[in-house]
Amino acid sequence: MKTLNKWNFYTSKELKPRGWIRRQLEIQAAGLSGNLHKIWPDVRDSAWIGGNREGWERVPYWLDGFIPLAYLLENDELIAAAKEYIDAIISAREDDGWICPCKKEKRAHYDTWAVQLISKTLKVYYDCSGDERIPQVIYSILRNYYELLKSGEIRLFGWAAYRWFETFIALNFLYERYGEDWIKDLAVILKKQGYDYSAAVESWKKPRHLWLRKTHIVNLVMMLKSEAVSHSLLGEKYTDLAEKFRTVLDRYNGTAFEGFTGDEVLSGIDPSRGTELCSVVEQMYSYEELFAHTGDNKWAERLEVIAFNALPATLSEDMWVHQYVQMVNQIACERTGVPAPFSTNGPEAHLFGLQPNFGCCTANFSQGWPKLALSAFMHSESRIINSVFLPSELKTRGITVTLDTDYPFENKMRYTVESEREFDFVIRIPSFAQNLRVNGEEKETADIEMKIPAGHTVIDVSFEAEPYLAERPAGLRVLRAGSLLFSVPIGYKKKMHEYTRFGVERRFPYCDYQLIPQTPWNYAFSGEEFVIERAGAGAVPFSAENPPVRIRAKMQKIDWGYKFPYKTVCRKTPKSREPLSEPEEIILCPYGSAKLRMTEMPLLKP
């Protein structure tokens, strides 16, 4: 049994974003997330609020990110919109506690994934708003869920069976507050009726490209946190199943940004396959919960890699449009023929748009940046930890900690502390840190633990993270520096497409965009000498035109070739590794800044 060091999240009242992460949230609020309730029928006219559109996962998905976004920014207009939706949802509950927009006689055929999701979303709302109605609302929802499952009137099936553990976000909250036995009984029922992913492991090793829930990428990244969030309430030992599952998934389906290929199901080792945006934000959330429940630093470090690379890469800079799937080696975002170059997605899945391929990501991507911002600092009894280096201000119980930093674009942090009392402070240091210094003194690379006295304290932390080529399968390499990946950016022109389909209008700025390449992409590394240049995060943190950091590298053109029969998708590996040109200096930018890019490339022999 592993010894766990649990951390607790702060609320949006205590923890506020600063610097580049605040700008990122402001861009999100001005873009699709902050306006979805005005323009998208599935949210604007949802059955959840009395309309006639989708009454299942999309409104809860959107609120799950929109709510913390509104409260972190203290945006009165967005807060009012969130309250309007929550009030409408609560007021529509049935007398027995049932909350979903589904007639009583149809409950047995309604996939109760929506019950699990809205319970979690309401818990997020309570954490942000402090609305004292909410605990009793969650209580009534899950008590009703328990009675229906116990009696056999409903059973878990479909998505609910594969996501049973998501209910534990709200269940753990209820048990801490009420401590009633039925909550534990419901936990047991959920696990018993839910899918056991241990039975699926062999199916992850050789992707069959068939649409199956047990190989569905979003289910799998959600599943990673299942043991961490459920073991305590179930009275089970924690065995770090997440690491065992992640190791298999990474070995057979891993990507350079430490996610997995999934378009929509597992797609093997191939940098020209897709990864669904829902899986990016859900993998982030799983790692946030894993770190909070276990205190194991590896989850926070992996969170950084996903968050600082995969998330910005698949969103436009103004966050009005997004992809359904991104590719590590993405040389074009143009409509392809049928069949598409993905397992089960269509030929538009990698375009930037309002809802390319399917609308779940349109609603769900909103949680990515806000929940990351809420993971910057955590606490356990009298201890406070800076778990992710994000510019932030923490105010809690007579303590104010302000962190000023441009991390991950530079590796310098300044903490300004004003405290009425002594407390224990921990600073998580990434395993890749070199030449760690604290207030100018050299330190061993390890977490910094110190007692902060009452009064005024300033702590300066810095370290180095030199660029290097990390090995990837098939003899390819990826350029890394700390948590950031670097790519050869490909220049492109945009082709805009405004239209209406199935009653959903796409018009500027939330229309579809194809990105058509205009500059060479067929490169390989010709050496391992790199020069890093730092400019700092600007108004758009992950800007392609003005990247916050860049690396100069010597590269040569090779004959990469296209994946048959497409002319806009590169091969999994190069057709030839013989150089076609003399070495030239190429400027690589962060993976998240490059919408078209080459990331995994070979290193040519001298």
Residue type, 438: V
In angstroms, rounded to a whole number, what is the distance separating the alpha carbons of residues 78 and 91?
20
- Number of neighbours of residue 253 by Cβ within 10 angstroms: 25
Cα 228–chain centre separation: 18
DSSP E strands: which ranges in 199-276? 274-276
**Helices of type H across 314-424:** 360-364, 368-373
Instruction: Quote the pLDDT of residue 1.
Output: 43
pTM of the full predicted structure? 0.98
In angstroms, rounded to a whole number, what is the distance separating the alpha carbons of residues 543 and 492?
15
In angstroms, rounded to a whole number, what is the distance separating the alpha carbons of residues 353 and 322?
5
Q: Are 558 and 577 in contact (CB under 8 A)?
A: yes
Element (H, E) at 479: strand 476-481
SS3 (DSSP) at 156: coil
- Number of neighbours of residue 8 by Cβ within 10 angstroms: 10
DSSP label of 83: H
Q: Are 328 and 309 in contact (CB under 8 A)?
A: no
Q: Are 165 and 117 in contact (CB under 8 A)?
A: no
Instruction: Quote the pLDDT of residue 3.
Output: 63
Domain ranges of the chain: 380-464, 468-602
Pairing of strands 383-386, 423-427: parallel
Pairing of strands 383-386, 377-380: antiparallel
What phi and psi values does residue 481 have, to the nearest 5 degrees? -145, 105
Q: Are 597 and 520 in contact (CB under 8 A)?
A: no
Nearest to 64 by CA among 5, 123, 132: 123
DSSP label of 333: B
Phi-psi region of 345 (alpha: psi -120 to 50; beta: other; left: phi over 0): beta
Residue 179 makes CB contacts below 8 A (sequence gap 6+) with: none
In angstroms, rounded to a whole number, what is the distance separating the alpha carbons of residues 550 and 460?
24
Residues of the chain with pLDDT under 50: 1
Nearest to 89 by CA among 127, 121, 66: 121
- How far CA 140 is from CA of 90, 173, 229, 604, in Å, comes to 11, 13, 21, 63
Instruction: Quote the pLDDT of residue 5.
Output: 83
In angstroms, rounded to a whole number, what is the distance separating the alpha carbons of residues 263 and 281?
15
Phi-psi region of 287 (alpha: psi -120 to 50; beta: other; left: phi over 0): alpha
In angstroms, rounded to a whole number, what is the distance separating the alpha carbons of residues 31 and 65?
13
- Maximum pairwise Cα distance, the chain: 75
What phi and psi values does residue 77 have, to the nearest 5 degrees? -65, -45
Q: Mind listing the pLDDT tens digit for each residue in 2-51? A: 568 899 999 999 999 999 999 999 999 999 999 999 999 999 999 999 99
- The architecture that CATH gives domain 380-464 is Sandwich (2.60)
Q: Could you identify the residue written with the tokens 């990673």?
A: 224
Which DSSP string do the residues of 29-70 spell out, in sequence order? HHSHHHHHHHH-HHHHTBGGGT-SB--SSHHHHHHHHHHHHH
Instruction: Quote the pLDDT of residue 338.
Output: 86
DSSP label of 125: H
Q: Mind listing the pLDDT tens digit for each residue in 262-282? A: 999 999 999 999 999 999 999
Cα-based angle 471, 473, 479 (whole degrees, multiple of 5): 35
Instruction: Quote the pLDDT of residue 382.
Output: 86
Q: Could you identify the residue written with the tokens 């027995």?
A: 96
Q: Determine the length of the chain.
A: 606
SS3 (DSSP) at 394: strand
Residue 488 makes CB contacts below 8 A (sequence gap 6+) with: 521, 523, 555, 586, 588, 594, 597, 598, 599, 601
- Number of neighbours of residue 576 by Cβ within 10 angstroms: 10
In angstroms, rounded to a whole number, what is the distance separating the alpha carbons of residues 266 and 212?
10
Element (H, E) at 434: strand 434-438
- Number of neighbours of residue 97 by Cβ within 10 angstroms: 18
Instruction: Quote the pLDDT of residue 2.
Output: 54
Q: Are 210 and 218 in contact (CB under 8 A)?
A: no
Q: Are 31 and 15 in contact (CB under 8 A)?
A: no
Number of helices followed by number of strands (H, E) in the chain: 18, 26
Token pair recorded at residue 139:
């209580």
Q: Are 348 and 337 in contact (CB under 8 A)?
A: no
SS3 (DSSP) at 321: coil
Q: Are 65 and 365 in contact (CB under 8 A)?
A: yes
Q: CA quadruple 307, 310, 316, 317: dihedral positive or negative?
A: positive
Token pair recorded at residue 50:
């009395």
Instruction: Quote the pLDDT of residue 381.
Output: 85
Token pair recorded at residue 244:
């065992």
In angstroms, rounded to a whole number, what is the distance separating the alpha carbons of residues 18 and 16?
7
